A = this chain, B = another copy of it.
Amino acid sequence: MDLSKLLKPKSIAVIGANEKAGSFGNYSAINALQNGGNVNVYFVNLKSPEVLGHKTYPTIKDLPEVPDCILIATPAKTCAALLEEAGRSGVKAAIIEAAGFSEEGTEEGKRAEEELIRIARKYDMAVMGPNCIGFVNNIDKVKLWGMAGTDFDMNVRKTGVAFFAQSGTMSIHAVSCPYIDVSYVFSMGNSTMVMVEDVMEYVLEEPEVRMLAIYLEGVRDGRRFMNCLKRADELGKPVVIHAAGMSKKGAAAAASHTGNIASSRGVYQAVCEKYGAILVESIDEFLCATNVLATWLDRMPKGSGISAINGSGGENAVCADLSELYDVPLPDFEEGTITALKELLPGFANPRNPLDITAITSDVYTVMMNVLTTVGDDKNVDAVICSIASFAEPNEKDIEQAKVFGESLNERYARPMIDYVKKPGAVPVLCIPMTEDRRDAQWRRKLQEAGIPILANSLIGYKVLGKICKYIEYKKVVHTLENAVPEQKHGEDTVSLSEADSKKELYALDLPIPKQSVVKTKEELKKAVSGMKYPLVLKVSSADILHKTEAGGVQLGIEDGHQAEKAFDEIMENCRTYKPDAVIDGILVQEQAEPGVEMILGITSDAHFGPMLMAGMGGVFVEIFKDAAMYPCPLNKEEALRMLQGLKAYKLLKGYRGNSPCDIEALTDVMVKLSRYAKDHRDEIKEMDLNPVFVYPEGQGVSIIDALIIKYKDRKGGEQEENRKSDS
């Protein structure tokens, strides 16, 4: 499938072009005519000989040339036949706008979409949609867009962001946002033929695509998606992701919308953390984060030390509260800065970060320039929030007032900001207005050209800034941008290894497992224990006995050979009484580990993004407090450490209230190996559960006490595996 004809067509045809206001066909025709002049535009309409003053052709076959791409703007039931006709005519790319396919959730809709897929495959066509609006290509100046959008003026709009949306409305929000530089806006619809991942791969390589902004209701191909994120990182192109359907009800809503099965919020967070993508949860956040990054592309702050300058004590206090709430670091000023500010500002201003410079009315330009320079020169400060003005669109009164003063308030405050950032050594500046409003387009643009973004109103603005600070810090750490998504899809059926076999696999990885052996007779037992260190544990090994303790199948603290033999007999007898028909493989005998700090490590395989490493402290910590970290496999030691540092229980690992610090070095070592194992066996391992893992004081290592490995049934690993229910 070649996307060039779809994305960069030299000739296009709008099928169903018409003059009925508000129809797909009308919008599509109007937009198709708004191109850069390098595109031949044809209209196909069976009935009208002319549409919008342009000659039409009755069918695709009648066109004077085979168009590179067609836009089908006709109802759902006509689409298959038209696609077939186009395919036969040699057309290699199409967009289908109509809804009424798989997203309906009906058998009929599903069949109708399968028919489209069949035709697209047959003729090797790149088909976008169905259930979409199309796209705007502002690099090559092509609009294949079935919705209002004429106010998106490709003659003046600069290139920059590539927007992707599986939702039509979300793509309209992107097209309608007047102040973000845009290279592409894609409304992908059901994405069953041309997928988001296909288009991402293609456009990422274009130099005019400086960053990606993706509204997602689920991915089709997690591996390619993650590879795109990796490539974006390599190219230094930031990615903002608005993943919808992360809640239970949201997932149901998304499924019925574009037929996607969403991953959980936790998985999205983990993926974004690994790849440094910025994950948001509302449209305003989405546009705001995209705007900030797009504006800062060539002047990203060097660190996350933010200073804030406010013109009111109240707003200054709120700024401090919101910064704390959303993790915007406000470092203290250096001594020199404080001294300099005390000289610059009237006596009653209190020079600390955030800084209230109070309502200055005279000599605004000089005061602001001086304050910005002084604060920006502070070595703890990497960027300055300057929230003196809201840059709201002026109302009649503002316009009148501006006439009196000879300048508007927006101009008064914008000028020193713009002049400041031009100074050598200036740090980036941004504005976070306190209240919702429409912003002054003129000054927004001028500020933006100077690299100064206006964020969304307070709460959202600070939330986004907190995430961008995290993004800036992300860039300083080396991440493992490999992914471990299985090569093939696996069924739901699984097999579980026995404890002994699970541990055997881990042992082979050089992971710290107490010495163990499965013995069938007392003779074997004697031999086994001769090389072991007491005390020992004996446990029945049987796929038929799920609750070993209940069955009397476990004995702890065995201190010598005699006790071991006695335990062997008792366990055998208990288990035979408990379940006479149970097949008993033998008795697992192992060295009993010293108790340590209890951790749980695990692997779960997400349907889209593959194996995720899970880490948390044992017992109620994970279960009640949900204090667990998740991260896509594989990972390196630093990423493992960061996972642990993200736990509330990390304090306990670091040594709490006089307890010695735990061997975090050894623990992260296990985590890295486990994640590598999950990657290497990605088409085999469905789940792993290491619980508990005892962590000992620094230098004394860890010990994996119990382990369970669950494999896909369709890729059975070896002969020694047992058929157990996955809930064992």
CB-defined contacts of A656 to chain B, threshold 8 Å: 620, 624
Answer whether residue A488 sits at the interface, using C-beta atoms and an 8 A cutoff: no
CB nearest to A324 among chain B residues: B247
How many copies make up the complex? 2
CB-defined contacts of A353 to chain B, threshold 8 Å: 249
Query: In whole angstroms, how far apart are the Cα atoms of A435 and B314 in the complex?
Result: 26
CB-defined contacts of A325 to chain B, threshold 8 Å: 247, 281
Query: In whole angstroms, how far apart are the Cα atoms of A652 and B623 in the complex?
Result: 10
CB-defined contacts of A117 to chain B, threshold 8 Å: none
Binds B, one of A41-49, A168-176, A369-377, A634-642: A168-176
Within 8 A of B (CB), among A345-404: 347-348, 350, 352-354, 356, 358-359, 361, 392-393, 397, 404
CB-defined contacts of A320 to chain B, threshold 8 Å: 245, 247, 249-250, 252-253
Answer whether residue A211 sits at the interface, using C-beta atoms and an 8 A cutoff: no
Answer whether residue A697 sits at the interface, using C-beta atoms and an 8 A cutoff: no
Known: A151-B397, A354-B249. A313 touches B109 (CB 8 A): no
Binds B, one of A98-106, A584-592, A604-612: A98-106
Q: Contact: A458 with B284, CB < 8 Å?
A: yes
CB-defined contacts of A321 to chain B, threshold 8 Å: 244-247, 250, 281
Q: Mark A242-267, 1 if CB is under 8 A from B, else 0.
A: 10111111101110111000000000
CB nearest to A312 among chain B residues: B169
CB-defined contacts of A247 to chain B, threshold 8 Å: 320-321, 323-325
CB distance from A287 to the nearest CB of B (A): 7
CB distance from A328 to the nearest CB of B (A): 10
Q: Contact: A168 with B104, CB < 8 Å?
A: no
Query: In whole angstroms, how far apart are the Cα atoms of A404 and B20 in the complex?
Result: 13
Answer whether residue A415 sits at the interface, using C-beta atoms and an 8 A cutoff: no
Query: In whole angstroms, how far apart are the Cα atoms of A256 and B317 in the complex?
Result: 10
Q: Mark A611-654, 1 if CB is under 8 A from B, else 0.
A: 00000000010001101000000000000000000001101100
Q: Contact: B317 with A245, CB < 8 Å?
A: yes
CB-defined contacts of A361 to chain B, threshold 8 Å: 22
CB-defined contacts of A356 to chain B, threshold 8 Å: 253, 256-257
CB distance from A331 to the nearest CB of B (A): 10
CB-defined contacts of A434 to chain B, threshold 8 Å: 173, 282-284
CB nearest to A350 among chain B residues: B256
Checking B246, B359, B392, B648 against A625 with a beta-carbon cut-off of 8 angstroms, the contacting residue is: B648
Answer whether residue A668 sits at the interface, using C-beta atoms and an 8 A cutoff: no
CB nearest to A254 among chain B residues: B317
Number of A residues with CB within 8 Å of any CB on chain B: 89
Within 8 A of B (CB), among A284-330: 284-285, 287, 311-325, 330
Answer whether residue A21 sits at the interface, using C-beta atoms and an 8 A cutoff: yes
Q: Mark A516-531, 1 if CB is under 8 A from B, else 0.
A: 0000000000000000
Answer whether residue A228 sits at the interface, using C-beta atoms and an 8 A cutoff: no
CB distance from A175 to the nearest CB of B (A): 13
Checking B167, B282, B456, B648 against A312 with a beta-carbon cut-off of 8 angstroms, the contacting residue is: B167
Q: Contact: A314 with B249, CB < 8 Å?
A: no
CB-defined contacts of A317 to chain B, threshold 8 Å: 167, 217, 244-245, 250, 253-254, 257
Known: A312-B167, A347-B104. A324 touches B624 (CB 8 A): no
* Further 4 A-B residue pairs, CB within 8 A, beyond A217-B314, A253-B352: A104-B347, A106-B348, A244-B317, A620-B656
Q: Which A residues are within 8 Å of any B CB, using their own CB? A: 21-22, 99-100, 103-106, 109, 151, 165-170, 173, 215, 217, 242, 244-250, 252-254, 256-258, 281-285, 287, 311-325, 330, 347-348, 350, 352-354, 356, 358-359, 361, 392-393, 397, 404, 434-438, 456-460, 463, 620, 624-625, 627, 648-649, 651-652, 656
Question: 28 A-B Cβ contacts within 8 A?
Answer: A105-B348, A167-B312, A167-B314, A167-B317, A168-B312, A169-B311, A170-B315, A244-B321, A249-B320, A249-B323, A249-B330, A249-B352, A250-B320, A250-B321, A252-B352, A253-B317, A256-B356, A257-B314, A257-B317, A281-B321, A283-B458, A392-B438, A436-B437, A437-B437, A457-B457, A457-B460, A460-B460, A624-B648
